[in-house]
């Protein structure tokens, strides 16, 4: 992406020098021009030779020349107190440098439609689904644990909960603003820049490095998405190129609609536990997939995961005609860490060896 030409104007010379030096030394996105006097600022932006993308200035620099300037983004820098200036976007200049820069880039992306300003776009994203028709299989715990394990390996990971009732609402719901409600609305709105809304709403947990978006305000909202709209959402994640992997946690419903959305996954991990009923349900699920040609695409993407494994494994699996000849891609032993999602987020990487059989297949 070509550099963004940003003009900074502030009469506080010490602050401006610190900010300018930080941007030059740490942020390759910007070409920076800074001014401490209104006269020099007006002269620069008034010269049509100078291409300006962003003008960020304090209130004492306000001038009709700024209003008339041919710059797509004009930002008023405030001290965090209320400003009655409505003509421009405003940002508190006294905040952490990283957030300050992110706020500027987000405004720029929203004004120009250039999602690449806030998305690195350098990743070939894999979409990984976790699905099981078996209740109590540990599906959600394993999906969050896998996201955590991949993030611990330095990969950029997004966790997307696609359950009708979000079972991680008390764990991954810590951001100050933003929710999947905004994403769902934009997916349904023709011409909306969904990728930009994903970047605007996403939050990356500082403990785990897992990115996510707060759950929707109502659990019913995800039900209003059509199959094509959900697949569009997945395509938006792929198109961003922001993440190495997107982990999608589905509920256990099995229907034509679920088949359609599962087909948009690159890989599907299907956990079950070594109990007769669990194995029987997985067997019936596999039978369904093998019965119909249109379901073969999903069958070919499946990775069976035996979770909460014990010494009764072989008997339960071999006694089921549909499981006996299937390859179990991962066997996860019973673990107190995997007993609760909160344990995973505080495990300090001790869970990584346990999940190796899953992460090695992603």
Residue 361: partners with Cβ closer than 8 Å, 6 or more residues away: 267, 303, 329, 330
Examine the domain organization and report whether 307 and 251 are in the same domain.
Answer: yes
Residue 130 belongs to a domain with what CATH number?
3.40.50.300
- Structural domain including 299 reads 126-359
Boundary residue ending a domain (54, 83, 117): 117
Reading the block at residue 14, the tokens are 């010490």
Examine the domain organization and report whether 185 and 321 are in the same domain.
Answer: yes
Short-list 284, 145, 156, CA closest to 209: 156
pLDDT of residue 223 exceeding 80: yes
Examine the domain organization and report whether 35 and 180 are in the same domain.
Answer: no
pLDDT of residue 62 exceeding 70: yes
CA–CA dist 163, 88 (Å, integer): 40
Examine the domain organization and report whether 100 and 213 are in the same domain.
Answer: no
Residue 13 belongs to a domain with what CATH number?
3.40.50.10850
Q: DSSP secondary-structure letter at 327?
A: -
Boundary residue ending a domain (78, 95, 117): 117
Examine the domain organization and report whether 185 and 258 are in the same domain.
Answer: yes
Measure the CA dihedral 291/293/298/301, to 10°: 100
Boundary residue ending a domain (87, 117, 147): 117
Examine the domain organization and report whether 307 and 279 are in the same domain.
Answer: yes
301-322 confidence digits (pLDDT tens): 999 999 998 876 766 777 777 7
The mean pLDDT value of the chain amounts to 90
149-188 confidence digits (pLDDT tens): 999 999 999 999 999 888 776 777 666 668 999 999 999 9
């Amino acid at each position: 992406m070509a550099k963004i030409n940003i003009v900074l104007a502030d009469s506080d010379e010490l602050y401006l020098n610190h900010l300018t030096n930080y941007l030059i030394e740490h942020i390759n996105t910007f070409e920076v021009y800074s001014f401490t006097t209104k006269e020099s600022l007006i002269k620069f932006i008034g010269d049509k030779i100078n291409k300006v993308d962003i003008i960020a200035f304090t209130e004492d620099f306000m001038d009709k020349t700024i209003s008339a300037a041919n710059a797509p983004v004009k930002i008023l820098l405030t001290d965090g107190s209320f400003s009655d200036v409505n003509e421009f976007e405003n940002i508190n200049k006294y905040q952490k440098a990283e957030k300050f820069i992110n706020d500027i880039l987000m405004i720029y992306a929203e004004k120009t439609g250039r999602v690449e300003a806030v998305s690195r776009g350098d990743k070939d994203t894999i979409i990984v689904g976790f699905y099981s028709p078996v209740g109590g299989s540990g599906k959600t715990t394993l999906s969050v644990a896998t996201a955590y394990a991949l993030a611990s390996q330095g990969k950029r990971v997004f966790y997307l909960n696609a359950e009708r009732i979000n079972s991680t609402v008390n764990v991954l719901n810590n951001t100050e603003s933003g929710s999947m409600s905004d994403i769902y609305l934009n997916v349904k709105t023709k011409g909306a820049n969904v990728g930009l809304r994903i970047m605007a709403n996403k939050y990356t947990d500082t403990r785990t490095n897992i990115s996510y978006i707060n759950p929707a305000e109502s659990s019913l909202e995800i039900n209003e998405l059509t199959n094509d709209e959900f697949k569009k959402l997945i395509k938006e994640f792929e198109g961003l190129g922001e993440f190495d992997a997107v982990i999608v946690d589905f509920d256990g419903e099995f229907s034509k609609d679920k088949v359609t959305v599962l087909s948009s996954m690159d890989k599907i991990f299907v956990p079950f536990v070594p109990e007769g009923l669990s194995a029987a349900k997985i067997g019936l699920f596999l039978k369904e997939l093998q019965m119909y040609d249109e379901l073969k695409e999903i069958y070919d993407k499946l990775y069976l995961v035996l979770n909460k494994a014990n010494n009764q494994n072989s008997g339960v699996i071999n006694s089921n005609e549909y499981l006996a000849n299937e390859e179990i891609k991962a066997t996860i032993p019973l673990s107190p860490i995997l007993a609760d999602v909160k344990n995973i987020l505080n495990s300090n990487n001790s869970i990584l060896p346990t999940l190796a059989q899953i992460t090695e297949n992603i």
